[in-house]
Amino acid sequence: MIELFEVCGADPKLVFSPFCWRVRLAMAFKGLPFESRPITYSDKAAIAFSGQDLLPVLRDGQSIVHDSLSIACYLDRQYSRASLGLEGIAKHRATLIDRFAHQDLLIGLFRLLVLRILPLLSLEDACYFRSKHEGLLGSSLEAFADPSTGVQLVESALQPLKAQLQLTPFFDGDEPGAVDVLIGGFFLWAWVLRLEIWENHPGIARWVERLVARYEAVQGKIHRAPCTVR
């Protein structure tokens, strides 16, 4: 059985990392069952076997893979059914889309979500999360969590996505593929944390509903943060 080591909050059923959601979507689209191994941010011993300290990590028999895009490529190579379309030149294109998605979309969502994440962590994990991110950002999380900049960044990122979804139900056409995985992981992260910033964009809202439906049809109901997290 494929094992997915992924970030959880104090409640191990609540998994909410954008990168872990990419892998969950990839496995659901390919119809691959997996065992979730929820790990807290600071529990580095649990993934020491992977030789690095970030989640997600996939263990499939003797194969150990980290990094969401590398995991999606591994799954496509290893399991040919329901290809995500990551072979050959398509992998390079996916890498470029990944870079674009990190700009406005990821940073904008992170500004809007960061203060929702903190209360979902254990005290020890919240201290680790704060100190790591404040070091990287060079500012307090409260100063970084600037809703107007966050909304502006996300709204700008939504424009090409909206236009594309007027053409096809998924970014990759009639069926979901690598682009839906790469972008969708970020939206599922927000959806699990009850930030539905796309509520005024029906095309995006319907696409998120499709992702959730596809996922839940294979893996069962998604555990979301309590409504009080808003």
Ligand X SMILES: N[C@@H](CCC(=O)N[C@@H](CS)C(=O)NCC(=O)O)C(=O)O
For ligand X, the binding residues (CB under 6 A) are: 7, 17-19, 41, 53-56, 67-69, 132
Indicate the residue among 27 and 165 with the shorter CB distance to ligand X.
27
Instruction: Give bridge partners of residue 57 from the DSSP assignment.
Output: 5, 66
Q: Could you tell me the CA-to-CA distances from 11 to 16, 28, 122, 190, 191 in Å, in that order?
A: 11, 22, 9, 17, 17
Indicate the residue among 53 and 209 with the shorter CB distance to ligand X.
53
Q: Considering only CA atoms, which of 123, 115, 96, 114 is closest in space to residue 183?
A: 96
Output the smallest distance, CB 68 to ligand X, in A. 4
Output the smallest distance, CB 173 to ligand X, in A. 24
Dihedral sign of CA atoms 29, 31, 33, 34 in order: negative
Indicate the residue among 50 and 78 with the shorter CB distance to ligand X.
50
Indicate the residue among 8 and 28 with the shorter CB distance to ligand X.
8
Indicate the residue among 95 and 168 with the shorter CB distance to ligand X.
95
Instruction: Give bridge partners of residue 58 from the DSSP assignment.
Output: 4, 65
Q: Token pair for residue 8?
A: 């959880």
Kindly state the DSSP code that residue 38 receives in the 8-state scheme: E
Output the smallest distance, CB 57 to ligand X, in A. 9
Output the smallest distance, CB 198 to ligand X, in A. 21
Output the smallest distance, CB 74 to ligand X, in A. 12
